[in-house]
């Protein structure tokens, strides 16, 4: 018999092999293996699921503020200036005379009802619809060549927020907080500040956890709608409430000591403890009565004539305060899905874009611009990446029989501001009419990859194993748009 296959050698090699497997597993957990393509999954303590965690590489940004204009805000009427569209106003779009899009056949090329003017030292052309945001053009990094995968609102919002058109996938904020946790122990790691009028069309999918642990879902509340079920019951004093929580904490810790390996129990106790902490922290952060009158005036929160603007302004103040408190990911929505009632409540400008946008523009412009100026004054933009986006763009033509623009995912605009991005800077371009991206064409996957990179995360290696697949925010696509990075 071959001596290599004798009983002693077999047992010896078996033991060595098992030891090697154990060592490889340990090195992988500690990220010490040389494989630069292997998945990187966060090591999460169930008892502290939101504890701050290390990034994959040096991060330019610690926090993210996403401003989401729901309803597909028109690039043609805001940030993508097209002088040729003005020249060709009222004429057919060359090669697209019989073009049929989402809601039917297209009419003639139609210039924006608003004039574009140069802003800042860069001279960036921005529409009079959003003049105060235009004044911040020198601080912005524009991406004019984004392309999407759908021309339908719900799937479009899903795609921008989760990287997939279908429901059930984790949002950007869920991926971010799963990977990095948060530096605030008394507030949620991820907050969705919904529009005063309601939720966007894709609703909670915009801030859902998908197949990630449920703890990483965004917590929805706004300045007008406080987080529910946090108030101390009537007849219970704060002293009694505190004593009760302390007693419950002792019981929980004793229970946990009896089941030291039960991660589900540890996570459940942790979630209850966070809820108890939020009884104090959330009312404090949503109480805007302590804000100086000058701040309320600057944001437009005291506007008695435009109540919707005042409500959105209060949401903008809330978003700034959440970032100031160290909340990792804040999603601020402008526009909501609403059927019936008084007209269109988001940026879905099909019927009469001039009438509709004349209402939406002032609601967005002053509060949002004031928030960004305020954040800059306070030094928050040094560590915060601000992202403005919408689910897709709009056509340079008006729809036949209407005075509005149809859906257009072939070329649209987003912009970034703050930590880690060049400013003033413009990346990519649509054609002469603003219809299709033609220069440095970028996908939403590229957009997401860039956001994760600025947070210190490798979009290819941040994966979660689910139903036989290594899932990631960017699916199997995407690259970092290095041209927009400050360094």
403 part of a folded domain: yes
Average pLDDT over residues 66-92: 97
Per the structure, the count of domains in the chain is 2
382 and 302 within one domain: yes
Q: What proportion of the chain, given as a percentage, has pLDDT over 90?
A: 71
78 and 30 within one domain: no
pLDDT of residue 1: 46
CA dihedral 88, 92, 95, 100 (to 10 degrees): 130
* pLDDT tens by residue, 149-188: 999 999 999 999 999 999 999 999 999 999 999 998 889 9
pLDDT of residue 246: 72
139 and 23 within one domain: no
Tell me which of 22-26, 251-255, 438-442 is least confident.
22-26
Average confidence score pLDDT of the chain: 89
Rounded to whole angstroms, the Cα distance separating 421 from 482 reads 10
Tell me which of 279-288, 347-356, 428-437 is least confident.
279-288
Average pLDDT over residues 424-451: 98
Cα–Cα distance list, 175 to 12, 60, 179, 222, 228 (Å): 44, 17, 6, 22, 25
pLDDT of residue 48: 85
pLDDT of residue 34: 53
**What sign does the CA torsion over 296, 298, 300, 305 have?**
positive
Average pLDDT over residues 290-300: 96
Average pLDDT over residues 340-354: 77
Average pLDDT over residues 429-436: 98
Q: What proportion of the chain, given as a percentage, has pLDDT over 70?
A: 84
For the ranges 273-282, 345-354, 467-476, the maximum mean pLDDT occurs at: 467-476
Residues contacting residue 468 through CB under 8 Å, at least 6 positions apart: none
pLDDT of residue 271: 64
CA dihedral 128, 365, 435, 152 (to 10 degrees): -150
Average pLDDT over residues 29-47: 78
pLDDT of residue 340: 45
179 and 67 within one domain: yes
172 part of a folded domain: yes
Look up the domain containing 445 and give its range: 63-229+288-484
143 and 25 within one domain: no
pLDDT of residue 474: 98
49 part of a folded domain: no
149 and 22 within one domain: no
* pLDDT tens by residue, 86-138: 999 999 999 887 888 988 899 999 999 999 999 999 999 999 999 999 999 99
83 and 4 within one domain: no
248 part of a folded domain: no
The full 3-state SS of the chain, as one line of letters, equals CCHHHCHHHHHHHHHHHHHHHHHHHHHHHCCCCCCCCCCCCCCCECCECCCCCCCCCCCCCCEEEEEEECCCCCCCCCCCCCHHHHHCCCCCCCCCCCCEECCEEEEEECCCCCCEEEECCCCEEEECCCHHHHCCHHHEEEEEEEECCCCCHHHHHHHHHHCCCCCCCCCHHHHHHHHHCCCCCCCCCEEEECECCECCCCHHHHHCCCCCCHHHCCEECCCCCCCCCCCCCCCCCHHHHHHHHHHHHHHHHHHHHHCCCCHHHHHHHHHHHHHHHHHHHHHHHHCHHHCCHHHHHHHCCCCCCCHHHHHHHHHHHHHHHHHHCCCCEEEEEECCCCCCCCCCCCCCCCCEHHHHHHHHHHHHHHHHHHHHHHHHHCCHHHCEEEEEECCCEECCEEECCCECCCEECCCEEEEEEECCECCCEEECEECCCCCCEEECCEEHHHHHHHHHHHCCCCCCCCCEEECCEEECCCCCCCCCCHHHECC
CA-wise closest residue to 445 among 143, 146, 79, 74? 146
Average pLDDT over residues 432-439: 98
47 part of a folded domain: no
Which CATH number do you get for residue 132? 3.40.720
237 part of a folded domain: no
Residues contacting residue 163 through CB under 8 Å, at least 6 positions apart: 169, 172, 444, 445, 448, 473, 474, 475
pLDDT of residue 28: 57
195 part of a folded domain: yes
The whole-model pTM stands at 0.88
pLDDT of residue 253: 74
83 and 16 within one domain: no
25 and 130 within one domain: no
Q: β-strands 100-101, 104-109: how paired?
A: antiparallel
Using pLDDT thresholds of 50, 70 and 90, give the confidence band for residue 342.
very low
Return the H-helix or E-strand segment holding 168: none
21 and 77 within one domain: no
160 part of a folded domain: yes
Residues contacting residue 106 through CB under 8 Å, at least 6 positions apart: 93, 96, 99, 100, 395, 397, 398, 399, 400, 406
Contact, 204 vs 220, CB < 8 A? yes
305 and 445 within one domain: yes
208 and 355 within one domain: yes
For the ranges 190-199, 221-230, 440-449, the maximum mean pLDDT occurs at: 440-449
Average pLDDT over residues 470-478: 97
The residue ranking higher by pLDDT, 452 or 234, is: 452
Average pLDDT over residues 457-478: 97
């Amino acid at each position: 018999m071959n001596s290599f296959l004798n009983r002693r050698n077999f047992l010896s090699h078996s033991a060595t092999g098992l030891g090697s497997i154990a060592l490889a597993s340990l090195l992988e957990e500690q990220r010490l293996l040389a494989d630069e393509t292997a998945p990187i999954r966060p090591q999460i303590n169930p008892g502290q699921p939101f504890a701050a965690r290390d990034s994959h590489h040096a991060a330019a940004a610690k926090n993210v503020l996403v401003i989401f204009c729901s309803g597909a805000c028109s690039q043609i009427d805001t940030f993508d200036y097209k002088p040729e569209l003005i020249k060709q106003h009222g004429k057919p779009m060359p090669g697209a005379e019989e073009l049929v899009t989402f809601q039917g056949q297209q009419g003639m090329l139609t210039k924006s009802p608003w004039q574009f003017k140069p802003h800042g030292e860069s001279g960036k052309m921005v529409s009079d619809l959003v003049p105060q945001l235009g004044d911040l053009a020198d601080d912005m990094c524009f991406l004019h060549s984004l392309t999407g995968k759908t021309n339908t609102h719900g799937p479009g919002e899903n795609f921008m927020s989760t990287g997939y058109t279908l429901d059930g996938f984790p949002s950007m904020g869920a991926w971010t907080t799963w990977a990095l946790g948060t530096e605030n122990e008394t507030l949620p790691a991820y907050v969705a500040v919904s529009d005063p009028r309601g939720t966007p069309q894709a609703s909670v999918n915009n801030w859902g956890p998908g197949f990630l642990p449920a703890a990483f879902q965004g917590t929805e509340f706004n300045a007008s709608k406080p987080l529910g079920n946090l108030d101390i019951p009537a007849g219970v004093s704060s002293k009694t409430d505190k004593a009760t929580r302390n007693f419950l904490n002792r019981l929980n810790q004793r229970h946990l000591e009896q089941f030291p390996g039960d991660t589900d129990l540890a996570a459940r106790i942790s979630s209850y403890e966070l809820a108890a902490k939020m009884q104090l922290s959330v009312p404090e952060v949503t109480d805007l009565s302590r804000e100086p009158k000058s701040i309320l005036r600057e944001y437009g929160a005291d506007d008695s004539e435009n109540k919707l603007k005042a409500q959105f302004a209060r949401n903008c103040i809330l978003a700034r305060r959440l970032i100031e408190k160290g909340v990792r990911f804040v999603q601020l929505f402008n526009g909501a899905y609403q059927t019936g009632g008084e007209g269109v409540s988001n940026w879905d400008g099909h019927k009469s874009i001039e009438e509709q946008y004349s209402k939406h523009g002032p609601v967005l412009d002053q509060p949002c611009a004031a928030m960004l100026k305020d954040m800059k004054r306070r030094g928050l933009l040094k560590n915060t990446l601000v992202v403005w986006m919408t689910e897709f763009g709009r056509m340079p033509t008006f729809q036949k029989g209407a005075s509005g623009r149809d859906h257009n995912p072939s070329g649209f605009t987003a912009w970034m501001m703050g930590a880690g991005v060049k400013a003033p800077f413009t990346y990519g371009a649509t054609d002469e009419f603003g219809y299709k991206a033609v220069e440095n064409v970028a996908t939403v996957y590229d957009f997401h990859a860039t956001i994760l990179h600025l947070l210190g995360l490798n979009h290819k290696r941040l994966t979660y194993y689910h139903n036989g697949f290594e899932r990631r925010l960017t699916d199997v696509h995407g690259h970092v748009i290095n041209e927009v990075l400050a360094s």
